[in-house]
Structures are given as C-alpha cells and as structure tokens.
Amino acid sequence: MRSVTYSMGVSLDGYIVGPDGGFDWTAPDEEIFRFVTDEIRAVGVHLLGRRLYETMLYWETADQDPSLDASLLEWAALWKQLPRVVFSTTLQAVQGNARLAAGGLAEEIERWRAEPGEGDIAIGGAALAAEVAALGLIDEYRPRVYPVLVGGGIPFFPRRERRVELELVETRTFISRVVSLRYRVVR
C-alpha cells in the first residue's frame, strides 16, 4: 500500500514560512537539491493546496528558461510528469498534469491507495497536511530542518489535540548543516 508522506523545509523552531511570509532560508544548495529530486522520484501523486499549487506553477514552463542548468531541467521534467491533485474552493481550472480534487481528502487518498502502481502519496502545504493529519492519514513526516530560527509564521507540524507516536527511520546531515529527518507514524 502506498504511504502518505509530508516533506518540507522547516526552521529549527518549526516553521515552513516565516512571519513575513518569506522562506528564502530554505533555498536548497546542490546537495539538498539532489536529495529533494531523488525524493520526488519516489512520489506517485502529489496532493496540494491552492497556495502551493500556485507557487509551483513556475515549473510548468521552467523547461523553456535557457538559464536553467541540467539539474533544474531534470526537476522540471519530473514535476511536470507527476500527477497532481489540487484541493481548492476558488480555482476553476488547473494546468499540466494536475486536476482539481473531485472529493474530500480521505476519499482521494483512499482512491490513490487502492490504485495499482507505485510511489508515495505526497502531501504539499501545511494547511492541507494539517487536514490529512487530523484524519490520521499521514504515514511519514519528513522535515528538512534548517539551522535558523524565524520566530513565527506557518508551522510545519499541525497543532493537534492528540498525541502521535513516531519512530525515527532515517537521518541525514548535509554539508550545509541542514538535517533531514524521516519519522514513521506508529499505529
């Protein structure tokens, strides 16, 4: 069965975006970019909210940018071919290999888990991840912790009223002092 994963860059104090809306501190160096590219190869479908979808629209036409190097072109190709499901109450249409969600989160996740095929079900965006977590459907949390304190903003981990036990599966420290953590939810 496909795993539901939530992976993003996060400050040491737990935020994916700072209080000013900035996330420039998560700009990946070459080593982290290779890691994230390898991570996206293991994804079978990406579920995302409207804000992240709009942020990622750049990659729909990035392959036309002559200034991109081979690694960025590779990322663009992987992203464009990846099936994406967008959860939005305001968008009327989406581009590329994306479609608007036809049902709720639980139904969409169960549909992808039931389909034959490989690859994780990746959750993108803190608000959407909070909804999936509230349903108890996240199997793995994969924060990449950056050595910075931003003091507030949008939290990586949803605020919950119940305890969730996690098992550390993997850690990796990059030259840039960023630490990738992979935790599996203990059920």
Neighbour tally for 170: CB within 10 Å = 11
Residue 10 — pLDDT band, cuts 50, 70, 90? very high
Is residue 1 predicted with pLDDT exceeding 90?
A: no
The predicted model gives 91-98 an average pLDDT of: 95
The predicted structure's pLDDT at residue 162: 80
The predicted structure's pLDDT at residue 115: 87
Q: Which of 97, 137, 131 is nearest to 113 (CA)?
A: 137
The predicted structure's pLDDT at residue 30: 93
Query: How many alpha carbons lie under 13 Å from residue 79 in its C-beta half-sphere?
Result: 21
**Domain 4-185 coded CATH 3.50.50.60:** no
Residue 132 CB burial class (10 angstroms; 0-12, 13-18, ≥19) = buried
How far CA 157 is from CA of 70, 76, 116, 124, 182, in Å, comes to 33, 27, 30, 12, 14
CA–CA distance, 119 with 81 (Å, rounded to integer): 13
The predicted structure's pLDDT at residue 77: 95
The predicted model gives 99-108 an average pLDDT of: 94
Domain-by-domain residue ranges, the chain? 4-185
CA–CA distance, 105 with 99 (Å, rounded to integer): 14
% the chain with pLDDT above 70: 100
Residue 152, C-beta contacts closer than 8 angstroms, at least 6 positions apart: 15, 18, 19
Is residue 142 predicted with pLDDT exceeding 80?
A: yes
Mean pLDDT of the chain: 94
Which tokens belong to 96?
């590329």
